[in-house]
Amino acid sequence: MRFGPASDGVIAGWARELGLPGLVDIHVHFLPQRVMRKVWAYFDEAERHYGVSWPVWYRHTEQRRLAMLRQFGVERFAPLVYPHKPGMARWLNEWVRQFAEEVPDAVPTATLYPEPDVSGYVEEAVRAGARCVKVHVQVGAFDPRDPVLDPAWGMLADAGVPVVVHCGHGPLRGEYTGVDVFAEVLAKHPRLTAVLAHAGMPEFDRALALLERYPRVYLDTTMVGTPFSERLMKLPADWAARLADVPHRVALGTDFPNIPYPYATQLRAIAQWADADERLGEPFLRAVLYETPKALLNGARGR
């Protein structure tokens, strides 16, 4: 069972055999339909953007995508939204708040962008129950160190709301990407609960160094170690051994539905790490696939 599910159809049973009631996925995307269509159109041009084709595997209606997550046994997930320009985050936050109200397995989330009203709408989102905030430095093309964001980082740190931050250079560099840039935000807000999306890909070493320095920093597994990513940005050979130092600081993330392979592929990658170091094994799988992401999404104080 440690080798992972052979196909999507056997994921739920695999999780049960591990003794889990299901999976918790901290990195899933749901967006207003016209925004999602734009995202898919972007992936259709992936060859131009990334130099590789990126056929979105789950290009289905919202209802069908939700039904699939349930079939996989995903008990809870964070539907992440992110803006690519100013004036968009507040609207996305409102959209995702309603989405989470209608979809019981989705936790309320929010996003942010450096703009004058950012503290106001982040505070509103946290008050309204947001349990996870997505920050996309490359798509947003902004500097996470922008002083206008300081009150928002402070508020999120105080509230214990995890921030899933795509700050790495992968798959595309941006003006402000790089784990070291985000490290400056952490230096200023060391109590921030930060989940480094894609484990900081491709700067895995730097991401792990931040985990050592800051007890509230985590990694998400999104796309990490899948054959698709391994071709572009290879994991260090001692990855599993490195994870054995921080087994409770890794959370399942997948980027469903915008991945160029089946959901089970991600789970097999994680299962391979579990199998590669005897200190990991099934307890590691239970932590990554369920306990850690669940604790993160439940972690906001007073909830």
Which residue intervals of the chain are DSSP H helices?
Answer: 11-17, 33-44, 46-50, 62-71, 89-102, 118-127, 137-140, 150-159, 179-188, 204-213, 227-232, 239-243, 263-276, 281-286, 292-297
Do the bridges between strand 74-80 and strand 110-111 make them parallel or antiparallel, or are there none, so unpaired? unpaired
Closest to Zn ion by CB, 254 or 292: 254
What is the number of the residue whose Cβ is closest to Zn ion? 255
Closest to Zn ion by CB, 119 or 193: 193
What's 39's DSSP letter?
A: H
Minimum Å gap between C-beta 33 and Zn ion is 18
Q: Cβ neighbours of residue 212 under 8 Å, at least 6 residues apart?
A: 246
Minimum Å gap between C-beta 160 and Zn ion is 22
Closest to Zn ion by CB, 203 or 255: 255
Minimum Å gap between C-beta 258 and Zn ion is 7
Helix (H) or strand (E) holding 194: strand 194-196
Minimum Å gap between C-beta 276 and Zn ion is 25
Minimum Å gap between C-beta 110 and Zn ion is 15
Minimum Å gap between C-beta 214 and Zn ion is 22
Q: Mutual orientation of helices 204-213 and 179-188 as an angle, nearest 10°?
A: 10
Closest to Zn ion by CB, 18 or 35: 35
Closest to Zn ion by CB, 82 or 153: 82
Do the bridges between strand 133-136 and strand 110-111 make them parallel or antiparallel, or are there none, so unpaired? parallel
Which of 62-69's residues contact partners 24+ apart within 8 Å by CB, and which partners? 62/30, 62/33, 65/30, 65/256, 65/257, 66/103, 66/105, 68/8, 68/257, 68/263, 69/25, 69/28, 69/105, 69/256
Site for Zn ion in 134-193 (CB under 5 A): none
Neighbouring C-beta atoms of residue 142, cutoff 10 Å: 24
Closest to Zn ion by CB, 82 or 290: 82
Is 220 a residue that touches Zn ion (CB under 5 A)? no
Closest to Zn ion by CB, 115 or 255: 255
Minimum Å gap between C-beta 3 and Zn ion is 26
Please work out the total of residues on this chain that contact Zn ion, with binding judged by CB under 5 A: 1
Query: How far, in Å, CA of 157 to CA of 182, rounded?
Result: 15
Per-residue binding string, Zn ion, 231-260, x by CB under 5 A, is ------------------------x-----
- Which chain residues interact with Zn ion by CB under 5 A? 255
